[in-house]
């Protein structure tokens, strides 16, 4: 329960209608897309300005109240879960475009702006915002930045970090910081902007961002190729990237395709069934690029790497082929998957996947395992589907034990336990497989500087004190 004094002060800051206390609101704003925890915030607040955010943080600091920042709540690691009586600060109302500069090709937006709305605005200006993933229709820019979101275009355009030219944040100490102010060059010491990108709301609340846009891509073509085995996927990747600048190189297994076709009603790309599929996208820039792509396809067939394939002949066909990959995550939610979001260097992926496959076959003999991911940037999504006879608690316990073993393999191959989804609650216990004890100690020290009372997203990413 929120103390009456705090309730009164929050109403003074926000107005009564922006303080939500009903059970259904607490449930709605208290969870992300993970299904492991129960929502239990004490209140939800909807500030309409950076100043109001600052006032709420200062109030929480004064009374030692924990805060959970909330964006679109599309996260997959429990980073936006409020389970211990926290105040949820939902940034939905900070969703406006404050400034657009066509010469700089930058746009300054509130953290609550829906990612797809930013993409559409860029298109209207004849420009392009390249960060793209399945939840762009509901995720928010602030959350994207807080988790350094990746997606399907990373091989060509990089992660969210590459597109953040400036930030306005409210720290856990209640300070408003304007970081970098959209500058292309700013060599004046520590760039705190990059500390907040990927910090998962543990250092401050991202309230506003200046986003760099780029030129719109040329017309693109999409290929889907049926591939004989996983090591061969890397041969195909190397063959194409040696000659063509790809905008995407994705992969998924036959089981992933089967699930999408069965549950979404999509058509299969071709009749041949193959263990793995690769989806490639590239700018055509004239017939010569398409002809080169076809010659590379023929080379891959001659080598026995590719068993079948299709190339889009229209925008609608390209969109239909993309749906085979993009709709996997949504399709799998019905099966309450336990998700591992892991990465290693591309060159080490075949050996890594082989070891992980052997591990999961041994430890999950009766479980369905669905593989897909962003092979072009070394990111694998390992999804373990919950058997109907297992309770959620038993399923999570079994998966958590194997995640430790997966983490050991990640450490062996010098990879990451979280490629793009963040650490949150779900992967905090596995952080040491990717970060040294010295790094984690420094992370705690950084948090103490920006959030001295430890009120921001407590329990996420790192513990405030060494366990």
Q: What is the mean pLDDT of residues 56-75?
A: 97
**If pLDDT is split at 50, 70 and 90, which confidence band does 69 have?**
very high
> Quick one: pLDDT at residue 55?
98
Residues 289 and 291: their CA atoms lie apart, in Å, by: 5
Whether 45 shows a pLDDT value over 80: the answer reads yes
Classify 28 as helix, strand or coil.
Answer: helix
Q: Is the pLDDT of residue 127 over 70?
A: yes
Residue 287 to residues 221, 239, 268, 291, 312: CA-CA distances in angstroms? 11, 19, 26, 6, 14
Binned at pLDDT 50, 70 and 90, residue 408 comes out as very high
Nearest one of 270, 262, 378 to 321, comparing CA atoms: 270
Which residue from 311, 346, 348, 226 is spatially nearest to 276, judged by alpha carbons? 226
**308 and 225 within one domain:** yes
Per-residue pLDDT at 286: 76
pLDDT at 147: 96
pLDDT band at residue 464, thresholds of 50, 70 and 90? low
197 and 160 co-located in one domain: yes
Residues 17 and 84 in one domain: yes
Question: Residues 416, 352: one domain?
Answer: yes
Output DSSP code: residue 221.
Answer: E
How far, in whole angstroms, is CA 85 from its chain's centroid? 26
Q: Give the per-residue pLDDT at 167.
A: 98
Residues 6+ apart with CB under 8 A from 406: 340, 342, 356, 359, 382, 417
Q: Which CA distances in Å does 391 have to 66, 397, 419? A: 31, 10, 28
Q: Are 342 and 398 part of one and the same domain?
A: yes
pLDDT at residue number 367: 86
- Dist. CA 454–CA 465, nearest whole Å: 10
pLDDT of residue 465: 64
pLDDT of 467 > 60? The answer is no
Helical ranges in 15-97 per DSSP H:
23-29, 50-63
Average pLDDT over residues 433-461: 96
Give me the phi and psi of 175, to 5 degrees please. Answer: -85, 145
Same domain, 85 and 121: no
3-state secondary structure of 125: coil
Chain-centre distance for alpha carbon 115: 12
Mean pLDDT, range 171-179, rounded to an integer = 98
**Burial call 121-144: b when 16+ CB within 10 Å, e when fewer:** bbeeeebbbbbbbbbbeebbbbbb
Query: What average pLDDT does range 453-458 have in this prediction?
Result: 97
Q: What is the CATH number of the domain that holds 378?
A: 3.30.70.2740
The model's pLDDT over 295-329, given as tens digits with 9 standing for 90+, comes to 999 999 999 999 999 999 999 999 999 999 999 98
* Gap between the Cα atoms of 248 and 225, Å rounded: 13
Q: Is residue 377 predicted with pLDDT exceeding 80?
A: yes
CA 279 to chain centre: 20
- Residue 464 domain-assigned (yes or no): no
Partners of 379 in beta bridges? 343, 374
Residue 168 and residue 266 in one domain: no
pLDDT band for position 142 (cuts 50, 70, 90): very high
Give the CATH number for residue 30. 3.30.43.10
Determine the structural domain holding residue 158 and report its residue range: 97-215
> What's the mean pLDDT when you consider all of the chain?
94
Q: What is the pLDDT of residue 458?
A: 96
Q: What is residue 360's predicted lDDT score, i.e. its pLDDT?
A: 83
Residue 281 forms beta bridges with which residues?
A: 222, 248
- Domain termination residue (choose one: 184, 215, 246): 215
Whichever domain contains 147, its CATH number is 3.30.465.10
Confidence check: pLDDT of 158 > 90 = yes
Separation in Å, CA 416 to CA 358, 399, 413, 438:
19, 18, 9, 17
State what percent of residues in the chain have pLDDT above 90. Answer: 83
**Interval 287-291 mean pLDDT:** 90
Considering the domain architecture, whether residues 283 and 321 belong to the same structural domain is answered as yes
8 Å CB contact between 373 and 250: yes
In a domain, 358, yes or no: yes
Q: Which two tokens stand for residue 445?
A: 């020290």
pTM reported for the whole predicted model: 0.93
In a domain, 460, yes or no: no
Q: Note the pLDDT of residue 466.
A: 59
Q: Is the pLDDT of residue 88 over 60?
A: yes
- The per-residue pLDDT for range 411-442, each reduced to its tens digit, is 999 999 999 999 999 999 999 999 999 999 99
- Inter-CA distances, 243 with 17, 88, 150, 162, 437, Å: 58, 49, 24, 25, 42
What average pLDDT score do residues 253-278 get?
Answer: 96
189-246 confidence digits (pLDDT tens): 999 999 999 999 999 999 999 999 999 988 999 999 999 888 899 999 999 999 999 9
pLDDT, tens only, 340-372 = 899 999 989 889 988 988 898 888 888 888 999
Total domain count, the chain? 4
The tokens for 465 are: 């004190």
């Amino acid at each position: 329960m929120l103390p009456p004094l705090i309730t009164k002060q929050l109403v003074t800051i926000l107005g009564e209608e922006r303080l939500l206390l009903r059970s259904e609101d607490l449930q709605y704003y208290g969870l992300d897309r993970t299904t492991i925890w129960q929502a239990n915030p004490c209140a939800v607040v909807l500030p309409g300005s950076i100043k109001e955010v600052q006032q709420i943080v200062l109030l929480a600091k004064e009374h030692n109240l924990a805060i959970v920042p909330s964006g679109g709540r599309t996260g997959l690691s429990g980073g936006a879960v409020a389970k211990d009586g926290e105040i949820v600060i939902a940034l939905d109302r900070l969703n406006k475009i404050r400034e657009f500069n066509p010469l700089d090709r930058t746009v300054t937006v509130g953290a609550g702006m829906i990612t797809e709305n930013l993409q559409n605005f860029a298109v209207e200006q004849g420009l392009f915002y390249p960060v793209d993933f399945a939840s762009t229709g509901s995720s928010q820019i602030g959350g994207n930045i807080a988790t350094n979101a990746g997606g399907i275009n990373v091989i060509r355009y990089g992660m969210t970090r590459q597109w953040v030219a400036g930030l306005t944040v409210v720290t856990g100490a209640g300070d408003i910081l304007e970081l970098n102010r959209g500058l292309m060059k700013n060599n004046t010491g520590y760039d705190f902007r990059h500390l907040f990108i990927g910090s998962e709301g543990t250092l401050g609340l991202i309230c506003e961002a200046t986003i760099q846009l780029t030129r719109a891509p040329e017309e693109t073509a999409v290929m889907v190729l049926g591939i004989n085995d996983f090591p061969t996927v890397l041969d195909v990747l190397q063959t194409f990237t040696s000659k063509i600048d790809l905008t995407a190189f994705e992969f998924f297994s036959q089981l992933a395709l089967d699930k999408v076709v069965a549950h979404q009603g999509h058509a299969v790309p071709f009749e041949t069934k193959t263990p793995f599929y690769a989806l490639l996208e590239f700018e055509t820039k004239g017939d010569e690029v398409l002809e080169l792509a076809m010659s590379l396809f023929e080379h891959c067939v001659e080598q026995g790497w590719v068993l079948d394939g299709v190339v889009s002949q229209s925008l609608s066909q390209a969109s239909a082929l993309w749906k085979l990959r993009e709709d996997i995550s949504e399709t799998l939610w019905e099966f309450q998957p336990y998700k591992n979001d892991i990465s290693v260097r591309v060159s080490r992926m075949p050996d890594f996947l082989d070891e992980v496959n052997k591990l999961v076959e041994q430890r999950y003999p009766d479980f369905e395992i669905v593989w897909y991911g962003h092979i072009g940037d070394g990111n694998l999504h390992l999804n373990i589907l919950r058997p109907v006879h297992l309770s959620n608690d038993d399923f999570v316990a079994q998966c958590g034990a194997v995640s430790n073993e997966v983490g050991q393999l990640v450490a062996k191959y010098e990879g990451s336990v979280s490629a793009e989804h963040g650490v949150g609650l779900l992967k905090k216990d596995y952080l040491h497989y990717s970060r040294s004890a010295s790094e984690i100690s420094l992370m705690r020290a950084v948090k103490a500087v920006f959030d001295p009372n430890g009120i921001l997203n407590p329990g996420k990413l790192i513990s405030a004190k060494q366990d």
